[in-house]
Amino acid sequence: MKQKTDRMDKNMADQKRNYQKELERIIDGLEEGAKKPRLLLHACCAPCSSYVLEYLSEYFEITVFFYNPNIAPQEEYEKRASELQRLISQMPLKSPVHFLAGPYDPESFYEAARGLESAPEGGERCEKCFRLRLRRTARAAKTFGFSYFTTTLTISPLKNAALLNEIGRELQEEYGVPFLPSDFKKRGGYQRSIELSREYGLYRQNFCGCAFSKAAEEKKREIAEAEFSLPEFCERTAAFIDLDRIRHNVCSVLENAGRREGFVAVIKADGYGHGAVETAHAVSDLVWGFAVATADEALSLRKSGITKPVLVLGRVMERRYRDMILQEIRIPVFEPERAEILSETALSLGKEALVHLKVDTGMHRIGLPADEQGLSQAKKILSLPGIQTEGIFTHLATADMTENQAAFRQIGAFRAFTKQLRKEGFGIPLVHYANSAASILFDCADSALLRVGIALYGLNPSDECDYSPAGLKPALSWRTEISFVKTLPPGAPVSYGGTFVTEREMRVATVSVGYADGYPRSLSNRGEVLILGKRCRILGRVCMDQMMVDVSEVPGASEGTTVTLLGRDGGEEITMEELGALSGRFNYELACDISSRVPRVYLRDGKIVSVREPR
């Protein structure tokens, strides 16, 4: 038990680290005008190296170290090495970059992976592989007298940056060469790597590298083609929601927090676009209750048969008090005058109103002020007849930021406020302040409830912090299909305004989705989709109901071929975070904006269990 606690404590500490900021501090500390320090940069491929080279070549004299015995077959290994050398020769980097190839010794990888052939991607086999490659890099850095060593692997959203940095620190101690901490996907790094890959026409592989990952990706593609192709009853597009993944996220957040109960599933805005009613029924046995934004959202849950506690987070108007009381829906109170009206309504019905006192500790949205005036107002509310104060809560404004001191000040103010109420004889059963980010990153032992919204659906609360130890799994994938394929000659304008003009003969596919479905128009000429495991860029403007993509390099693409807008296809994945950042939005907004005319297809054990028709 102690071992598990120690591991959890270490994970908590690692999650609070911002490796990208650590790198920036090291860079800021380099002596201006002095000779650039020498960096041995382990690299696995050209796409992952592109942004890293562009970024670091201003500050370091870089030698790219290509040591990847995991890559198979040898033709693939040689192709990646050749493409990386081409990139180095063509990019206008800020200082010369050298290329050093390590030995191609696949037997060393197979020895390290022995017994782990069937391990899942991202698991123990990958950790062994990381250690093998970084150890050889650290050894070479010491042998050749480099100032630092690091790896491009943290550019990938699919790689655990905390684990890679932990391995780097261990090897730093062993070999005496400083490891350059990084999380290159931050600050838009991953998006920039996609842009550079497109600009230089880089070969983008559709699997991690090893034979085991290739086999796993091929299997996933077979499953995806079988299970995630559009069902016959879906005319043109569908969002697939994996309810098992949502249940996994509940259990994973609780386990990461060292708890078994007290989970509140925040399912406002139709469950962040995933479906509030369907999500509620899927996790009802795992949670204390639910939280929504409005009275109408709460009532729709009751109408669907949800009997567990439902807390409204936003202000409830007096005209809805009667319904809230009769349906035993918890509402926030923070104004004595309205609380008196609520009290009178409850007494007239011969029932008690269930309330949670809302305290404003710094969000400055709604709530009692966390001061003497607020204490006085709280005591008035708590003394009213017909009101049962079940809870008291606040909302943290910066828990998902690296600079989160304000969040801890909020928690401190909230604790002081509730302590004073208890001291004056007003004990409240449920004291809670933890949102998704705090539930994962902070020690929230004194928050009776964990109010988890975005993380419930497997999405990161922000791009500033590392949430990977919580083991979140995105629940939603979005697919459509090709409706038409044509070959265009050079000089052909595509879509409204002709903002894209073909420079060569191109195969162009029309895809059956547009901005009326919630796909961002701002991804015109910028975004990508996945077709048969390959990234295909959007050509021209996204239309209301359709858009065009380049399938010149996907000979198998034809009418009816599945197109992945969000989710995995083979070794490639487009995440909500990627699309959000690229479109100038963020993942919360993108999820909520998927239109109601897009059917929701719900899965359990990989099988369709229900469908919500377009509205």
Half-sphere exposure of 604 (CA within 13 A, CB side): 9
Exposure string for 111-137, b = 16+ CB within 10 A, e = fewer: ebbeebeebebbeebbbbbbbbbbbbb
Say whether 519 is catalytic.
Answer: no
C-alpha 456/C-alpha 316 separation (Å) is 25
SS3 at position 486: strand
Say whether 77 is catalytic.
Answer: no
Half-sphere exposure of 262 (CA within 13 A, CB side): 23
C-alpha 223/C-alpha 480 separation (Å) is 16
Specify the DSSP element, H or E, that contains 603. strand 600-604
C-alpha 119/C-alpha 210 separation (Å) is 13
Geometric angle at alpha carbon 611, from 610 and 613, rounded to 5°: 155
- Residues of the chain by 3-state class (helix, strand, coil), percent to 5: 40, 20, 40
Cβ-based neighbours of 115, under 8 Å, separated by 6 or more: none
Q: Which ranges of 383-495 does DSSP label H, i.e. alpha helix?
A: 405-423, 436-441
C-alpha 460/C-alpha 456 separation (Å) is 10
Q: How many CB atoms lie within 10 A of CB 561?
A: 18
Phi/psi of residue 146, each to 5°? -80, 155
Q: How many CB atoms lie within 10 A of CB 560?
A: 10
C-alpha 607/C-alpha 220 separation (Å) is 15
C-alpha 384/C-alpha 373 separation (Å) is 17
C-alpha 134/C-alpha 282 separation (Å) is 42
- By the 8 A CB rule, do 19 and 187 touch? no
Please pick, among 128, 186, 214, 268, the residue that the annotation labels catalytic: 268
Nearest residue to 385 (alpha-carbon basis) of 430, 426, 339: 339
Which residues are marked as active site? 268, 496
